[in-house]
Structure 1
Amino acid sequence: MAISFDNIPATLRNPGTYIEFNNELAGASSTMFKVAIAGQRLNTGTQAAGIPVRVTDPTQATALFGQGSMLAGQCAAFLNANTDTEMWAIALDDNASGTAAAGSITVATAPISAGTVALYVGGTRLSVGVSAGDSVATVASSIAAQINAALDLPVTASAADAVVTVTARHKGEVFNGLDLRASFYDEAMPSGLTLSFANLSGGAGNPDVSVALDAMGDEWFNWMVCPFTDTANLVSLETELGDRFGPMRQIGCRAFIAFAGTHGETGTFGSKRNSPHVSCMATGTSPTPTYLVSAINAAVAAKALAIDPARPLQTLVLKGMLAPSRHQRWSQSERNLLLFDGISTFTVGSDGTCRIERQITMYQNNASGLSDASYLDICTPETLERIRYEQRLMISQHYPRHKLASDGTQYGAGQAIVTPQIIRGQLLSLYRSMEQKGWVEDFDTYTEKLIVERDADDANRLNWRDTPNLVNQLRVSAGKQQFII
């Protein structure tokens, strides 16, 4: 009997027709991509720290992680931009040794007419009503009361005389720089009223992101949101993501972070990192906090990359991110410099919409310390990940329990046997299908350089070396006009 059956025994004498099903040739693949969001919880939430939980609704996140918590805000920002990608959240407790950031709003002069203050706390708009003749202390109390009434805000407030002290709900560095301002959209201030602002500062002691990384285990999360940019956490993140991308685990993940600061501070920060699996968006002076921008960026990127890992992300809207003021936006040349420092950039439209300009990784130098652009764009590791997955899927689907023989072996038709030549043909067929998807190009060179062979020392092992030519992206168009008059 030449045919290899899986379940019908050879020693069968009972009369009847027996048919087994085998899906090796079905070729139907389905992938549900997943995102993991790491962030801080409040003790008012019900979810224990360090345990991944699937989140599908902002109200669910509020109950799980506490109203006004960082993680609840991250989940809401992600879902506002993307409800299609499966999202999991991993709660972290505050660092017990940390301190909370604090800022202030000072009422410098009292209003002489009634009106409404358009107050923005971390990009969230609040309306504060004032009356003519209110004292500076009264206005300060009204501002504090309005902040405290907004329970989803990541801060609380207290007023003393003319000063409102705004304090982060969480300990740690993430809330340093949290934006406080009025009239983001040039809303009119009540006559006579003047306010001065000091953004939050003094926060210290982030949680350890390793708790979230350990919680991910060997589960394959395609993307991750990390709110922390301190060196210790980034080293842990880069090390784990590099290991997950490696051949022994093959569960690669790209992490999204965000950094706020001056142009010089941002470039300095980026130039010290070198991971092909971390992508950092510079936020400049955007009122939207970095921990929310990283979630928004991940949401937008994940939705597009799941559809096509090779298609550039440029022009995609960062839904929910507020732009820096016009006079504080970086020029084209300034953004170009950041793209050489491992920092992703965005542009701002005339309507204030923020759009991804170029999503790059933080990889900049090879092992010799020389400049290397091989992993510059996030599409490169994303496409490599998908190619590897398709190759693994092909082998596991078509040849799950096959025997291995050398080319030229005269085995019977229907035998569960595979040879190097068969695998070579399958790899070529797969490459052609990926070419049709627009992931790769140059089939002829791939065919010429493809090597498939049995291992010289292990007869049960099949080796191959291929050279996929990843399709590139239209990033720059340049023309030269030599005009005639």
Structure 2
Amino acid sequence: MAISFNQIPENLRVPLVYIEFDNSRAVKGTPAIEYKMLVLGQMLATGSAAEATPVRVLSADHAVGLFGRGSMLTAMFKGIKEADRFMETWCIPLKDDAAGVAATGTIDFTGAATGTGVLNCYIAGRKVRASVPALATSAEAATALADAINADLDLPVTATVATGTVTLTARNKGECGNDIDIRFNYYTGEVYPAGLTVSVTAMTNGAANPDIADAIAGFGDEWWNGIVSPWTDGSNMVALEAELLDRWGPTNMKDGIAYTAIRGTHSESATWGDARNGHLGTTMPTGASPTPPWIWAAVYGVVASGSLSIDPARPLQTLVLPGIMPPTQGERWTMEERNLLLYDGLSTFTVDSGGLVRIERAITTYQKNAYGLPDPSYLDVTTPATLSYIRYATRARITQKFPRHKLADDGTRFGPGQAIVTPSIIRAELLALFRELETKGLVENFDQYKKELIVERDADDRNRVNVLSPPDLINQLRILAEQIQYIL
């Protein structure tokens, strides 16, 4: 019998017709990846979610019940769902570390209001307004603001007041609380009530982030294409990078890109970036943005993942990060400063004339090879994203077309219809797949690929085929340089 049947036995004598189905040739074209984004972060005791256990988050309101109102995770998912409602998002929540310390900051009032006014306070980018009547003392103004803060349960802080001083305490413990921005009068036209003087002491003394290892243990065998983490301390970054490398490997192949964000000065950001060197992570320095870095990371992650899921090779430049408040005009980094950050393994953003934050260039933190020399091979996030898709498409093609095939040498005279594959058949399939990837705009230079592609049967293991595949990845238009030699 020449045809390789899957279910119809050879020893049938009972009449008459027996027909089976084989779907190995049913699927045409390249496959789509069902993107899943995983968000890590801290919940509050008021949340109903099980700690360190993956949970699917359907909406911002759903996140409130799962993680607690005013929690870090609730704010992250609010930003995510406003930016992209269609991305499938999951979360592994962690509670505050038992040894954690909550960050605190203060707002001090002096003087007395000489007229009616309004306090325009921004905490973690969220506006709090408090009316101040004429002749109000500093203590009364402080009390009014503290009451307004405590009335907003979505804020990441609570407030206490004593003799003209408002003390803010982060709801979640840990280092992240130190990045909660406190400021007044962000927008043009906002002013303090006349007669009042306000001074802000930044949030400090937050300590002990949760251990990301507890979250990694919950990753399981699921494929998370994008992973958002709010924790950028050294130990948690090392643990996350190690997990990503393991998932990137050839025996796991459940690779993903991690998205983080850091707050700090240009110098602090550069120092942080120089200490990292991973091709599966991308970090956006936020500068003096009022929006907390964990919300930056969440929005950056979902916007980038959404675009990469559509086309992994298309550059992310100009994509808007919805809901992100940029640094004020005088606090924004210059082009020269941003260019330096791009050599420190950090992504950059710009702010358009309407105040929208846009991705300028999204790069990985990978900067140097094993010998400590500059290596741009994984510079842009589109490179690992494109490689990931090519690998997935190759796996899908081979497993779909040759799921239970026998292996023979080229030239073997087997009958038509036999479930047999040879190196030349696999080679032809890979060339056909390359053409499809070329049509999708992911690779180029077919002739070079055809010439250098090696498909051979293993000399020691006759059940194995070895392939050396040299795809030329498509590039991105990032720089156009022109010299105009004009004539008068």
TM, length-normalised to structure 2: 0.98
SS of residue in 2 equivalent to 1:171:
coil
SS of residue in 2 equivalent to 1:382:
helix
2:428 matched to 1:444? no
- Deviation, 1:194, is 2.5
CA distance in 2, matches of 1:313, 1:16: 60
Q: Closer, same or farther in 2 for the Cα pair 1:273/1:150, shift >3 Å?
A: same
1:275 aligned partner: 278
Equivalent residue in structure 2 for 1:394, among 386, 397, 415: 397
- Deviation, 1:260, is 0.8
Matches within 5 A, 1:14-29: 14-27=14-27, 29=31
1:420 aligned partner: 423
CA distance in 2, matches of 1:36, 1:368: 33
8 Å CA contact 2:43, 2:72 repeated in 1 = yes
2:150 aligned partner: 148
1:323 aligned partner: 326
TM, length-normalised to structure 1: 0.99
- Deviation, 1:31, is 2.6
Amino acid at match of 1:445: Q
Unaligned segments of structure 2, at least 5 residues? none
- Give identity over the alignment, percent: 50
1:7 aligned partner: 7
8 Å CA contact 2:33, 2:309 repeated in 1 = no
- Deviation, 1:107, is 1.2
SS of residue in 2 equivalent to 1:174:
helix
- Deviation, 1:30, is 4.0
SS of residue in 1 equivalent to 2:459:
coil
Matches within 5 A, 1:349-388: 349-388=352-391
2:335 matched to 1:332? yes
- Deviation, 1:289, is 0.3
SS of residue in 1 equivalent to 2:172:
strand
CA distance in 1, matches of 2:458, 2:347: 43
Aligned length: 485
Amino acid at match of 2:72: M
1:121 aligned partner: 123
Amino acid at match of 2:168: V
- Deviation, 1:210, is 1.3
SS of residue in 1 equivalent to 2:10:
coil
Residues 334-366 of structure 1, C-alpha deviations (whole Å, 9 max, x = no match)? 000000000000001112111000000000000
1:183 aligned partner: 185
Amino acid at match of 2:10: A
CA distance in 2, matches of 1:25, 1:419: 17
More displaced, 106-115 or 286-295?
106-115
2:252 aligned partner: 249
CA distance in 1, matches of 2:179, 2:220: 33
- Deviation, 1:274, is 0.1
- Following TM superposition, the consecutive aligned residue runs of length 4 or more in structure 1 with deviations greater than 6 angstroms are none
Equivalent residue in structure 1 for 2:81, among 61, 79, 82: 79
Equivalent residue in structure 1 for 2:471, among 431, 446, 468: 468
8 Å CA contact 2:40, 2:91 repeated in 1 = yes
Amino acid at match of 2:79: A
CA distance in 2, matches of 1:80, 1:216: 25
2:313 aligned partner: 310
SS of residue in 1 equivalent to 2:258:
strand
Equivalent residue in structure 1 for 2:483, among 463, 480, 485: 480
2:166 aligned partner: 164
SS of residue in 2 equivalent to 1:132:
coil
8 Å CA contact 2:179, 2:293 repeated in 1 = no
